[in-house]
Structure 1
Amino acid sequence: MSAERYLIGKSTLDVSLGGLRRNGADVSLRPKSFALLHYLVTHAGRLVTKDELLSKIWPDVIVTDDSLTRCISEVRAALEDSDQTMIKTVSKRGYVFAGPVTLLDEHAVPLPPADGVPEHKTEARRTGWVLPLLGLAAVLAMAGVVWSTAFWRPAALPPRLSLIVLPFLNLSADPAQDYLGDIITDELTTALTQLRGSTVISSSSAFTLKGKPVDIKQLGSDLGVSYALEGSVLRSDGSVRINARLVDTQSAKTLWSDKFDVHRAALLQTQDDIVTRLASALHVELVQAEARRAIGTPVANLDAEDLAMRCEGASYNHGGAVATPNYDLCERALGIDPRNVRALIQLARYYSSRVSRVQSPNPASDLQRADGLVNRALDIDAGYYAAHCVKAVVLEGTHHVRDAVVAAERCLALNPSYAGAYRTLALQYFFLAEPSKMLEYVDHGIRLSPRDPETSIFLLLKGWAYLVMEHDDEALVWLRRAAAASPEIPTILAALTSVLALTGQDAEARATLARYLALPATRTRTVAQWDYVPDENPAFLKFHLRFKSGLSKAGMPEQ
């Protein structure tokens, strides 16, 4: 019988029991982390590439590198390998298990002598008791096997952000129309793999369920996924209706649903938009669902990724407000894992947004903090789309708006379903005073993500675009909508105050100014403090002076 146990440093990896022990105590590892450790140990001393690990540990499942990174971090923590002497990272290639590995078998288990007992007495004690103990061990082992087989089942939870996109049903009578549902299923599966930390069952595996009845709870248990996305396509004479719903596989409850129609004549041109709209909504809903799962757990018992997801989920709930009490969750996450990219980016976004929205108590300090955080995140994962959007806002704050456009375009290229990329690009073209470009990105973003938590920022940017063009009445329409959607965001109320004054609605302008000044998040209280000019092109400077004149007319103090 081949050995099923390995001594690795001070730890014992028992494959047959599926456990890791260190200094006599069990060490908790998730199933995928345990499988990864086993694979590295059995291939110790050589480079194991990332692709090899992904194919061996997650066969038939599409996951991001972040899933691998999290498992590596968990294994290092279990082995107390904080200095990475046992598991070495080979930059951009993979990992090498460089720690000591000793193969153990059932005939020779080395045990250290008990403290204070001479070695010869220890040996005599072993000789006298070894046969009775072996007999007792055999009885207990057999009893354990019987008990575990009859009564015990593993209760491991599925990985975070794990899901399957089930084949979209064709509700039309014509089977030849299956192709649209198949395209949506396949492309949506690919799009959702862009969500950081996601584990997505491959579309080829999902298609084996096509046309078969599915028990959602059983499916979640069998595949080890937390969520399932169901959908349907119904073609009528002039349009196609798309329905989708996200289901929790443990409770079978619907967490989110959406339906929308597209014209049949434009179907080929809008297929990408259909997938992008669904993926954009699901990115938000899945993170919020994971954050809700963690709410019932005391903060002290949450790991870094749980804390970071709660932090990100709270930012969605606040609709983009720049002052919320939940960013301490990201700070706690980084206290546990300084390399947690999600937490790094959420904090960098918070500090850079305060500057961009002209509500920072110390812009230079906030920009420096944001720049350091986003650079750390990009060093860890240069392919994380959201990091490039945050980098764009940092570049904007340091008067490099053209470079910010490049960074935001990189963000969009990495994840076309990320609504934040469209907002960031519209913002940069605002500072470049190119309103037609602003409207292009704003309208595209709203169309693809109509229920986005930061829709009010799209509406604000649309109002800014018309104000740049000096179409003040049209600007007022969109700024009123923005203020109705998010009355707690200071920048929106400041913009509305100025345009109300510029259009001669003085009483409402003064009332809106009073609401602005009363907001807890308001930091900029004088006209002179509105001095944020990332790009000094003549058209933006002209806009900036008009905006400030509106604030003065409404009664904002000059100094």
Structure 2
Amino acid sequence: MAEERVQRRLAAILVADVVGFSRLMEEDEVATLAVLKERRATILQPVVRAHGGRIVKVMGDGVLLEFPSAVDAISGAVELQRKMADANAALSEARRIVLRIGISLGDVVIDGSDLYGDGVNIAARLQSLAEPGAIYVSSGIRDQVKRKLAFDFDDLGPKFLKNIAEPVHVYRVVFEAAATIGHQEQALPLPAKPSIAVLPFTNLSGEAEQDAFTDGLTEDLITDLSRNAGLFVIARHSTFAYKGKSIDVRLIARDLGVRYLVEGSARRAADRVRINVQLIDAVGGDHLWAERFDRNLEDIFGVQDEVTNKIVEALVGRLAESPSRNRPKSLEAYDLCVRGRSLVSSFNSSPEALREAEILLNQAVSIDSEYAEAIRWLAFVHWQIWAQSIDPTEDNRSRAFELARQAVALDKNDAANHWFIGFLLANEKRWPESDEEFAAAFTLEPNNADALAIRSELAAFAGHASEAIELTQRALRLNPHPPGWYYWQLGLAHYAACQYEEAVRILRMEAIYRSPSRRILAASLAQLGRRDEAMREAALFMAMTPKFTITHWAAAQPARDMETVRRFVEGYRMAGLPE
């Protein structure tokens, strides 16, 4: 019997996937499935038909489409993303159905109504790379349409894709609904001061374990630049959103609302380190300064200071140098501290992360007993273990204070030491001392977004809800892609202002939902009379934090205004949280 011939054809393959599908289903399975069904009927099917394509198959939260040409595939993808964005406008951010799309041009194998082959596999891999709302395409697609459609393409370079033998050159389609990398619908206005973001340095060592060292260099450079009042400096969390991504610097600058970017790389081998740094004007397209440093490893902190001074001089001129922060005496202690702080650089770290960080930071301090930053982070860990009711013992609380005081005594030139002890003093209701420490922090580091966000909580519990909202918004401008706890602080501030609908909207954002902030979400829902939802959120919160009690919480708050505390307690009780 003659062997049946395999049928093949060249096709443009599109794979789309719903972002955060598991979270949407967990929150409301019935509503999510209903919205997906409605979107397929009213948006997906008409768009595919209009552009001559066909739906090959629906795969849970994803879909595989075939188009007869690259032009049809791109046109259909852009229309699909725009119509999805329009349909999402009426929904809260937490309930929006957002797609990632990948498109490739390739030879496919036909099996009945299904398709297989590298064309399908590459499209699926491109989809998994894409940011929410974006369209990624292979070079074959881009080459076919670049003179036929009025869309630009960002060149993301060659990428190695899983189970694909050769690298694939990847492009992002630039169009209205997904023109930015992040979630800014419009470009942020440039500040009056020279504005700068330091992108994560690339680890060229070839060893994954050196990632922490390279990240530490980036973080320390951001901190040192933030100490200069003449600059507007984007916070670490926002710039690390671009780690490992090949993105046009103009789009990054637009997304963050800055003019200047710093890029760099580091190669650490034995007792040597090589660092390359360049300063780019993302608006004018000029390279303002670039230099290579090839030094002994023990000179690394001197290199950090030199890089900082040269960037400042290039942007605002030669200034009097700020007093230096305390530097570790041991690179081993530095490595341990960098690893520890990466685990706990948010106010809603998991218990497991906190315990691991505690071990690493204790090791760092045992090596260098005068390493102020490691001591401060260790204080932070003990405070979080107490404040999150993980182990709410007096020993953890007093240890946090002891270590925080020690950090300030060892290094009065580190702003973070001041604002953290200021926060602890507020929890002791020692308001004048707390205010002095925050003032010292902002004098040393005007660009400290974390300090602004923390200060907002103290303002809320002082009865100044409007000021609290404003402080968090300032923090968000310095940190446009913040850690989730910024939204926790913003939701808290809106609750304090009795703006419960806005608090619910913020606290259901993907960045913060499912964290311990659910207790504030539960209280907000209760205040709105949505009792069933409130009690469900309260139950989910208690499953995560079984030792929580209203009494412990109320006693622990840094509150000058007891009416604000009373309003929170009222919401917690209405939501069914335990006394």
Pairwise TM-score range, normalised by the shorter structure? 0.3 to 0.5
Rg comparison, structure with higher value: 1
TM-score by length of 1: 0.46
TM-score by length of 2: 0.45
